[in-house]
């Protein structure tokens, strides 16, 4: 494990930009604000580019020269963050193939979207806050992907959640937008809670064997490889720990990456500015869950249950979200459901052990979905902010650059051959077809493949429906916006760059069956090999023939979806569609339009009971306990007490002095209490011990005399302060005489006039033998 | 009113006479000290403090005899007895004056009478200090208290001169009654302790204390000065600062307020200005 | 009777101090004129001084004299400030009656 320097600069630069813009932003000019923001992110991009092609490549060469021993990764230790008992967490970053891809995607997309935002948010009053949040988000996301252990990753995990909340509710003057932000936050918290539990569980399992690197990814992997029993501890019945931890972590991923059943926040998150949707809710943050599963590949691979859960949830999400996208009429809502669906594809990829395919799709999706959102933003910019596709149509005449780039993205997402989406989606489909894990039914991989294929068909259909409705046909919005216009260059240039990437990005990971040798082959087969260095290797068993067939099916499905969309919507909304939705497909249409009533169901099942509970606790805890008992009670108590104390605190100095005098007297009275001399007695071996206790202020040489025979006169010779007598020699009443200069009477020469006498009845636990106590 | 003034004057006279008497007694006692050097030395050797030591040796024979008799013989003893008798008388007289004066302070309606009682108290106390061999402090007591502080009081009384109808505060009578009981209890307790303390030490008390290490008479200006400017230099400086602050504070408080809103403004504002 | 006059000890001085102090307290408690109250406070301070000097004599320690000096200085400062306050109060209210000086009460 080698070290790397200056990795911390990558997240630090955007955080600096965020600091500047959030703290000083109000005093900076708009030019300064976006210059700072864009420069910070661009600098982060070039720094990460340098780190990848420089130190990382050299490290790779060195690692290969060393015979590929151990894991290939570079880490940078900054300082010890938490050290408490067995828990020892460093603030450390790591750069390895997986995170190198992630930081390039994050900083690259982020740079383009920052530039785009300078045009899109031109008229925004809170310009600096917007760019500050965006920078903060980029920094947090970089911490997430660079963190060398789970707690550091969790910093970024929570940081991106915060920025997501801030940016969704960026226009919080609108009540609905603020609510959407809150919804995203709450739903994410549910996932984060499970994520935390998963983290705790992992630490609980490994804290004895981690060698002082708690929850470090390398350590977790190393422990899993050398000490597999750690992940196989019995946790619930016969289930392994890996399953429990994996499922808990995956619930966290469900929240962050909008999977069933926690996807509901993402469509609402479209309330935020469109570039935010492109950056956070398409390209980067929502893919954090996929990244996390790929990062912990060794953990998920240890449990087929966890893998099955991930793959099944991903496939169902892909299908359900695609279905919901059919009938949406808002431009961004369609894209939101599309994102949910595509994330489902990625989770099937990582859930079938096809890690590199999941990450590959993550990358290509980042390009074309960010592009789609930016294109949608460009359209809305031209349409004066409206995103209703019912009033669009024929926009290709008004905004040609946006149209052509949008077309390319739609080709890519539909999986038309040779585009980026084609290669990555095919990888996932092929992996699903071929996957067979211990304990899975034999047909399970095929089932997943089937579900995904249907979802892919749906994807192609709804995306091209969107394209046709927006750009083709007649312009239907003349009543609303007379003259749609093309966007300025700072918005269209990022669109074109992303379109270029959406076209060519797939060529770094073409299927292995199309074997190419030499340097070209190194590039064309680069991606799976590269990601494979960071993940647990998992073989796919596919014959060449099957692969070709699957490729053909995928291409056909994509083209079929496009054809279907053209048939229905090629010339804008058609009567055929209206007849179908009103007639035989009415039920399905309603279901899609109302998003399968999931929100309504959640409202009934969770939100309303919770509200009722909250209202109940409000009435009981707030209204009654706090308002009535505590607040009014405190007031009442203070009033009562003050009414009493007013008698004392009366502003009359003389009465205060009365208090002083009384206090002094009380002190004297109290100290006088124990001053009287006395004596104690107890049984000791050989008799009874009598001990004179002269009280306060007397000296140890005070002369004393005793009367043991009970005649009331001092016995001659008994002058010691401590006397031991045999029980038989002691009467039932003993008297102590002592010269007491304080309490005793004395003559003027200081000689005791009368001795102080103390008489006590002597009672012993065991009856004193021979004593005449009975009579007295 | 005039009867009270006459009483006060009488008291002053009696007081002055008593001071003269006491000083005469001192002058008589003082020359004896060198003669009685050996006795003095023995008095020093005797432990000064132990009020509670009732050693067998102390029994039967009074200590003052023990100190005085072996060395100086009968004539010296007689002289000491006489001196002592005079001093004891002086103590009782001045103690009576002190108490009388202070009772005057708290009972007289007329403030001037009260101040006169206070002056008497201070003079008597000054004499008592002399009995304690605190010559310097006795003079300072007269100068500072009787001379300065009481004059200050008199000035203020002249400023405020306002006869009272009812001299005793009426509020909180019950509490004051309780406080009186508590006070009586405290006095009782103190007396209980004190009543036995002194008698057998009167011999040591009557002998003049030894000179200080620097050779000055005990309680003289030089001795107190040496003590004050060496061991107690810091407190001395701190007190000087305290006095300075008090002077500044007293001036600041007693000065008439310049911008007193109740007083009419000296310079009226511009004509026609609608006030402020 | 003879012995009472012949035999005066430190205890008598201390007792006198206690009595003087008690009279001072009584003055503060009972009188309503601020000036008398201040004089009573002076009485208490003098009682303390008498006690201090008696103890100095008993123990042969001159430190007590220095301490009594300091007490006098502080008493002088206290009187200066106290009388200034009395004058200021009198200027504002035309009386110095503690029974009526109860602004803090309201």
Q: If you write DSSP's letter for every residue of A511-565 in order, what string do you get?
A: -TTS---HHHHHHHTHHHHHHHTTS--------HHHHHHHHHHHHHHHHHHHHHH
Range in A213-222, A630-639, A750-759 the model is least confident about: A750-759
**Per-residue model confidence (pLDDT) at position B262:** 52
Query: Which DSSP state fits A681?
Result: E
Residue with more model confidence, A644 or A573: A644
C38 chain-B contacts, CB cut-off 8 A: 153
Distances A473 to A169, A462, B46 between C-alpha atoms, Å: 35, 17, 128
B53 chain-A contacts, CB cut-off 8 A: 750
Tell me the shortest Cα–Cα distance from C28 to chain B, in angstroms.
8
Burial zone of A385 (CB within 10 Å; 0-12 exposed, 13-18 middle, 19+ buried): exposed
- Answer yes or no: are the C-beta atoms of A288 and A160 closer than 8 Å: yes
Statement: residue A328 has pLDDT above 80: yes
Tell me the shortest Cα–Cα distance from C69 to chain A, in angstroms.
26
B182 and A664: CB-CB below 8 Å?
yes
Distances B178 to A660, A672, C2, C31 between C-alpha atoms, Å: 12, 19, 38, 16
Question: Around Cβ C96, how many Cβ atoms within 10 Å?
Answer: 23
- To which H or E segment does residue A13 belong? helix A9-24
Q: What is the mean pLDDT of residues B237-261?
A: 84
Which tokens sit at A262?
A: 């926690």
- To which H or E segment does residue A382 belong? helix A355-382
- To which H or E segment does residue A746 belong? strand A745-746
- Band the pLDDT of A772: cuts 50, 70, 90: very low
**Per-residue model confidence (pLDDT) at position C106:** 59
- pLDDT tens per residue across span A280-298: 988 899 999 999 999 998 8
Query: Which DSSP state fits B56?
Result: G
C79 and B232: CB-CB below 8 Å?
no
Query: Which DSSP state fits C104?
Result: G
Residue with more model confidence, A384 or C76: C76
Burial zone of A499 (CB within 10 Å; 0-12 exposed, 13-18 middle, 19+ buried): buried
3-state secondary structure of A686: coil
**Per-residue model confidence (pLDDT) at position B8:** 60
pLDDT cut 90: percent of chain B above it: 18
Q: pTM for this one?
A: 0.60
- pLDDT tens per residue across span A714-748: 787 777 778 888 877 788 888 888 766 555 555 55
Which tokens sit at A106?
A: 């994050």
Q: What is the mean pLDDT of residues B144-157?
A: 86
Judged by a CB distance cut-off of 8 A, whether residue B224 touches chain C is yes
- Band the pLDDT of B86: cuts 50, 70, 90: low
Distances A618 to A183, A188, A282, B62, C91 between C-alpha atoms, Å: 21, 25, 39, 87, 59
- Answer yes or no: are the C-beta atoms of A216 and A202 closer than 8 Å: no
To test the contact with chain A by mutation, choose from C25, C30, C82 the residue with the greatest count of A C-beta atoms within 10 A, namely C25
DSSP of A220-247, one letter per residue? HHHHHHH-GGGGG-B-STT-BHHHHHHH
Q: What is the mean pLDDT of residues A672-694?
A: 76
Q: Which long-range contacts (CB under 8 A, 24 or more apart) does A60-68 make?
A: A62/A2, A63/A2
Distances A124 to A117, A128, A275 between C-alpha atoms, Å: 10, 9, 13
Which tokens sit at A102?
A: 């992630």
Half-sphere exposure in the Cβ direction for A26 (13 Å, CA): 1
Produce one character per residue of A259-291: b if its CB has 16 or more CB atoms within 10 Å, e if not: bbbbbbbbbbbbbbbbbbbbbbbbbbbbbbbbb
- CA A61-A63-A69 angle, to 5 degrees, is 155
Q: Can you state the percent helix, strand and coil of chain A, rounding each to 5?
A: 65, 10, 25
Nearest chain B residue to C57 by CA distance is B132
Query: Rounded to the nearest 10 degrees, how much is the dihedral formed by the CA atoms of C56, C62, C65, C67?
Result: -90
Average model confidence (pLDDT) for chain B?
A: 69
If you count residue pairs, one on B and one on C, with CB atoms under 8 Å apart, how many are there?
255
Q: Smallest Cα–Cα separation from A277: which of A328, A232, A340? A: A340
Contacts of A618 (CB under 8 A, 6+ apart): none
- Answer yes or no: are the C-beta atoms of A220 and A242 closer than 8 Å: no
Contacts of B266 (CB under 8 A, 6+ apart): none
**Per-residue model confidence (pLDDT) at position A754:** 58
Contacts of B12 (CB under 8 A, 6+ apart): B116, B119, B120
- Answer yes or no: are the C-beta atoms of C37 and C31 closer than 8 Å: yes
Judged by a CB distance cut-off of 8 A, whether residue A651 touches chain C is yes
Q: List, in sequence order, every residue forming a beta bridge with A90; answer none if it has no partner.
A: A80
Statement: residue A578 has pLDDT above 80: no
Q: Give the Cα separation of A413 and B189 in Å (integer).
A: 102
Tokens 């290939």, located at residue: A72
- Band the pLDDT of B9: cuts 50, 70, 90: low
Judged by a CB distance cut-off of 8 A, whether residue B89 touches chain C is yes
pLDDT cut 70: percent of chain A above it: 93
B186 and A668: CB-CB below 8 Å?
yes
Statement: residue A500 has pLDDT above 60: yes
To test the contact with chain A by mutation, choose from B46, B50, B54 the residue with the greatest count of A C-beta atoms within 10 A, namely B54
Judged by a CB distance cut-off of 8 A, whether residue A748 touches chain C is yes
- Band the pLDDT of A138: cuts 50, 70, 90: very high
């Amino acid at each position: 494990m080698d070290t790397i320097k200056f990795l911390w600069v990558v997240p630090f630069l955007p955080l600096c930009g965020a600091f500047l813009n959030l703290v000083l932003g109000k005093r900076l000019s708009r030019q300064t604000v976006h210059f700072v923001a864009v420069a910070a992110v661009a600098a982060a991009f070039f720094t990460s580019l340098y780190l990848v092609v420089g130190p990382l490549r050299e490290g790779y060469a060195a690692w290969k020269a060393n015979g590929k021993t151990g894991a290939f990764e570079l880490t940078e230790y900054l300082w010890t963050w938490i050290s408490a008992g067995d828990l020892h967490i460093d603030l450390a970053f790591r750069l390895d193939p997986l995170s190198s891809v992630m930081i390039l995607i994050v900083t690259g997309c982020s740079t383009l979207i920052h530039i785009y935002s300078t045009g899109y948010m031109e008229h925004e009053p809170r310009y600096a806050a917007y760019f500050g949040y965006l920078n903060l988000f980029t920094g947090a996301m970089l911490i997430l992907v660079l963190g060398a252990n789970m707690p550091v990753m969790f910093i970024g995990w929570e940081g991106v959640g915060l920025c997501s909340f801030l940016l969704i509710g960026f226009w919080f003057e609108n009540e609905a937008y603020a609510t959407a932000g809150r919804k995203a936050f709450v739903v994410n918290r549910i996932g984060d809670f499970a994520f935390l539990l998963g983290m705790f569980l992992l630490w609980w399992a490994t804290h004895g064997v981690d060698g002082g690197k708690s929850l470090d990814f390398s350590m977790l992997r190393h422990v899993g490889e050398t000490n597999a029993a750690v992940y196989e501890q019995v946790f619930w019945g016969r289930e392994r720990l890996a399953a429990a931890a994996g499922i808990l972590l995956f619930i966290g991923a469900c929240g962050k990456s909008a999977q069933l059943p926690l996807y509901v926040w993402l469509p609402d998150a479209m309330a935020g500015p469109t570039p935010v949707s492109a950056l956070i809710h398409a390209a980067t943050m929502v893919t954090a869950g996929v990244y996390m599963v790929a990062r912990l590949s060794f953990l998920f691979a240890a449990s087929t249950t966890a893998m099955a859960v991930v793959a099944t949830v991903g496939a169902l999400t892909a299908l359900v979200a695609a279905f919901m996208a059919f009938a949406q009429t808002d431009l961004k809502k369609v894209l939101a459901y599309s994102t949910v669906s595509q994330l489902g594809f990625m989770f099937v990829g990582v859930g079938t052990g096809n890690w590199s395919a999941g990450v590959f799709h993550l990358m290509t999706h980042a390009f074309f979905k960010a592009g789609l959102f930016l294109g949608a933003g460009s359209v809305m910019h031209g349409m004066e902010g409206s995103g209703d596709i019912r009033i669009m149509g024929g926009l290709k005449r008004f905004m040609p650059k946006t149209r052509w780039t949008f077309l390319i993205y739609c080709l890519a997402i539909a999986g038309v051959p040779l585009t980026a989406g084609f290669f990555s989606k095919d990888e996932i489909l092929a992996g699903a077809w071929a996957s067979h894990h211990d304990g899975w039914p034999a047909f399970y991989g095929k089932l997943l493949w089937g579900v995904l294929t249907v979802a892919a068909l749906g994807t192609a259909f709804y995306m091209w429906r969107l394209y046709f409705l927006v750009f083709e046909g007649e312009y239907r919005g003349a009543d609303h916006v007379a003259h749609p216009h093309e966007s300025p260059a700072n918005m269209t240039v990022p669109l074109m760059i992303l379109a270029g990437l959406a076209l060519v990005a797939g060529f770094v990971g073409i299927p292995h069956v199309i074997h190419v040798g030499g340097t070209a082959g190194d590039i064309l087969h680069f991606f799976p090999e590269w990601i494979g260095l960071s993940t647990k290797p998992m073989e796919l068993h596919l014959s060449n023939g099957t692969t070709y067939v699957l490729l053909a099916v995928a291409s056909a499905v994509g083209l079929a979806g496009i054809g279907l969309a053209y048939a229905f919507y090629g010339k804008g909304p058609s009567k055929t569609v209206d007849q179908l939705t009103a007639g035989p497909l009415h039920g399905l249409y309603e279901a899609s339009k109302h998003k399968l009533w999931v929100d309504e169901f959640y409202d009934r099942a969770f939100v309303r009971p919770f509200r009722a509970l909250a209202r109940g606790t409000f009435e009981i805890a707030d209204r009654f306990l706090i308002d009535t008992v505590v607040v009014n009670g405190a007031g009442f108590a203070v009033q009562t007490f003050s009414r009493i104390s007013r008698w004392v605190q009366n502003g009359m100095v003389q009465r205060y002095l009365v208090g002083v005098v009384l206090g002094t007297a009380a002190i004297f009275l109290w100290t006088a209490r124990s001053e009287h001399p006395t004596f104690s007695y107890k049984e000791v071996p050989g008799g009874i011990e009598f001990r004179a206790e002269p009280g306060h202020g007397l000296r140890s040489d005070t002369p004393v005399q005793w009367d043991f025979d009970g005649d009331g006169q001092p016995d001659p010779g008994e002058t010691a302060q401590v006397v031991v007598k045999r029980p038989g020699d002691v009467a039932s009443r003993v008297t102590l005489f002592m010269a007491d200069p304080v309490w005793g009477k004395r003559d003027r020469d200081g000689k005791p006039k009368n001795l102080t006498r103390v008489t006590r009845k002597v009672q012993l636990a065991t009856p004193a033998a021979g004593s005449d106590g009975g009579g007295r | 009113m005039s009867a009270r003034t006459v009483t006060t004057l009488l008291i002053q006279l009696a007081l002055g006479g008593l001071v003269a008497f006491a000083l005469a007694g001192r002058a008589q006692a003082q020359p004896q000290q060198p003669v009685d050097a050996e006795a003095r030395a023995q008095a020093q050797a005797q432990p000064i403090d132990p009020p509670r030591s009732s050693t067998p040796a102390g029994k039967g024979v009074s200590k003052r005899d023990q100190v005085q008799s072996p060395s100086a013989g009968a004539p010296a003893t007689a002289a000491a007895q006489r001196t002592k008798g005079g001093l004891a008388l002086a103590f009782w007289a001045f103690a009576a004056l002190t108490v009388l004066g202070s009772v005057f302070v708290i009972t007289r309606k007329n403030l001037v009478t009260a101040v006169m009682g206070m002056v008497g108290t201070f003079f008597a106390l000054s004499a008592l200090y002399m009995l304690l061999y605190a010559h310097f402090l006795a003079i300072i007591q007269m100068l500072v208290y009787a001379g300065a502080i009481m004059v200050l009081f008199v000035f203020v009384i002249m400023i405020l001169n306002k006869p009272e109808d009812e001299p005793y505060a009426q509020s909180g009578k019950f509490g004051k009654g309780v406080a009186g009981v508590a006070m009586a209890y405290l006095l009782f307790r103190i007396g209980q302790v004190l009543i036995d303390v002194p008698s057998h030490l009167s011999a040591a008390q009557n002998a003049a204390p030894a000179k200080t290490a620097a050779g000055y008479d005990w309680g003289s200006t030089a001795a107190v000065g040496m003590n004050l400017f060496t061991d107690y230099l810091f407190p001395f400086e701190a007190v000087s600062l305290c006095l300075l602050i008090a002077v500044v504070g007293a001036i600041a408080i007693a000065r008439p307020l310049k911008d007193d809103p109740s007083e009419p403004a000296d310079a009226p504002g511009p004509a026609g200005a609608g006030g402020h | 009777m003879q012995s009472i006059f012949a035999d005066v000890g430190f205890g008598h001085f201390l007792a006198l101090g206690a009595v003087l102090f008690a009279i001072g307290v009584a003055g503060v408690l009972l009188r309503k004129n601020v000036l008398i109250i201040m004089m009573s406070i002076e009485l208490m301070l003098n009682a303390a001084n008498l006690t201090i000097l008696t103890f100095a004599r008993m123990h042969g320690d001159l430190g007590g004299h220095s301490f009594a000096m300091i007490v006098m200085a502080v008493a002088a400062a206290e009187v200066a400030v106290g009388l200034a306050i009395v004058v200021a109060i009198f200027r504002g209210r035309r009386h110095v009656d503690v029974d009526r000086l109860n602004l803090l009460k309201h």
